[in-house]
């Protein structure tokens, strides 16, 4: 049994307007030297564009290379409608030719095609990207999964409404990734277990602010972090939902985030709940 599914239109209704797809495109391998860019509708490559080209070049693989969309122009050249960054990365790698879908379009139609291709892209949610990276064996994605597995946490594959969340599920991929980088595997696992292994294991409490706040609180005192059952017993009497709401309603100095206020509140509670594992300031 596989996870594959067929293409299906389902409940989608076909457009009522006339169907005129135009001339069928051709797939060809074209020399990069024969590609040109029309600056009247194409964007120059700079800033984030440079970084994108470098990333494509560094991880270059034909399995990740979508064919360009081009149109023939005067002089035997082809105007790049979509794929300028990919073509530049291929050139940076010293390749001479790239695959392309050749369409027949004048300058106005080229600009319209550029707008349609770049304006109708369905941006992948970061949750879906995480799971795709996991399947691809990406080291960062595997490290995130290892930490979540150890804490009994599941990162969902797509966003859902809060009422649909179950205990132990989270949408806070960014917070998990940030906490793993800032505090390390053990601190992140312990922080998430302060939710999953206590009375706080309720839907929605593996929120970004809570994950970051608990990580920061435990990072301030290694003895708390390594407190084991005593730590979890302390969190059994901490209602993280109430504490988060109090942090959100409190007056904060400019630039101070909610999770930072929550972290301070948690630290104050732990100082009383775990005096035997307190360290001198």
| Cβ-Cβ contacts under 8 Å for 240 (sequence gap 6 or more) | 195, 200, 205, 210, 214
Q: Return the pLDDT at 94.
A: 95
b/e per residue 149-182 (b: at least 16 CB within 10 A): eebebebbeeeeeeeebebbebbbbebbbbbbee
Q: Return the pLDDT at 30.
A: 96
b/e per residue 250-261 (b: at least 16 CB within 10 A): eeeeeeeebbbb
Where along the chain do its domains lie? 26-119, 126-277
Q: Return the pLDDT at 195.
A: 97
Q: Return the pLDDT at 122.
A: 57
Residue 176 near residue 156, CB atoms below 8 Å: no
Q: Return the pLDDT at 276.
A: 61
Instruction: Give the separation between CA 197 and CA 168, rounded to whole angstroms.
Output: 10
Q: What is the pLDDT along the chain (281 residues), one digit of tens a residue?
A: 467 778 777 888 888 777 888 888 889 999 999 999 988 878 788 888 889 999 999 999 999 899 999 999 999 999 999 999 999 999 999 999 999 999 998 888 888 888 777 766 656 688 888 887 887 788 999 999 999 999 999 999 888 888 889 999 999 999 999 999 999 999 999 999 999 999 999 999 999 999 999 999 999 998 999 999 999 999 999 999 999 999 999 988 899 999 999 999 999 999 998 876 544 44
Domain 26-119 has CATH 3.30.365.10: no
Q: Return the pLDDT at 2.
A: 60
b/e per residue 49-62 (b: at least 16 CB within 10 A): eeeebeebbeeeee
Instruction: Give the separation between CA 206 and CA 155, rounded to whole angstroms.
Output: 10
């Amino acid at each position: 049994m596989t996870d594959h599914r067929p293409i299906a239109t389902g409940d989608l209704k076909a457009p009522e307007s006339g169907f005129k797809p135009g001339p069928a495109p051709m797939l060809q391998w074209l020399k990069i030297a024969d590609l040109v860019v029309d600056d009247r509708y194409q964007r120059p490559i700079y800033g984030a564009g440079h970084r994108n080209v470098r990333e494509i070049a560094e991880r270059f693989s034909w399995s990740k290379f979508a064919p360009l969309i081009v149109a023939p122009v005067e002089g035997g050249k082809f105007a790049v409608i979509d794929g300028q960054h990919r073509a530049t990365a291929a050139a940076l790698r010293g390749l001479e030719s790239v695959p392309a879908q050749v369409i027949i379009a004048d300058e106005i139609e080229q600009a319209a095609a550029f707008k349609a291709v770049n304006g109708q892209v369905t941006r992948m949610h970061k949750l879906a990207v995480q799971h795709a990276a996991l399947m691809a064996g990406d080291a960062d994605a595997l490290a995130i999964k290892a930490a979540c597995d150890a804490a009994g946490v599941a990162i969902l594959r797509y966003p859902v409404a809060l009422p649909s969340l179950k205990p132990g599920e989270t949408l806070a991929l960014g917070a998990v990734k940030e906490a793993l980088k800032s505090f390390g595997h053990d601190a992140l696992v312990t922080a998430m277990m302060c939710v999953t292994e206590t009375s706080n294991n309720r839907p929605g409490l593996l929120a970004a602010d809570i994950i970051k706040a608990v990580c920061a609180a435990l990072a301030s005192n290694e003895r708390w972090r390594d407190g084991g059952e005593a730590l979890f017993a302390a969190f059994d009497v901490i209602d993280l939902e109430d504490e988060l709401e109090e942090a959100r309603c409190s007056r904060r100095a400019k630039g101070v985030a909610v999770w930072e206020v929550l972290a301070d509140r948690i630290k104050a509670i732990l100082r009383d709940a775990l005096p035997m594992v307190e360290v001198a300031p």
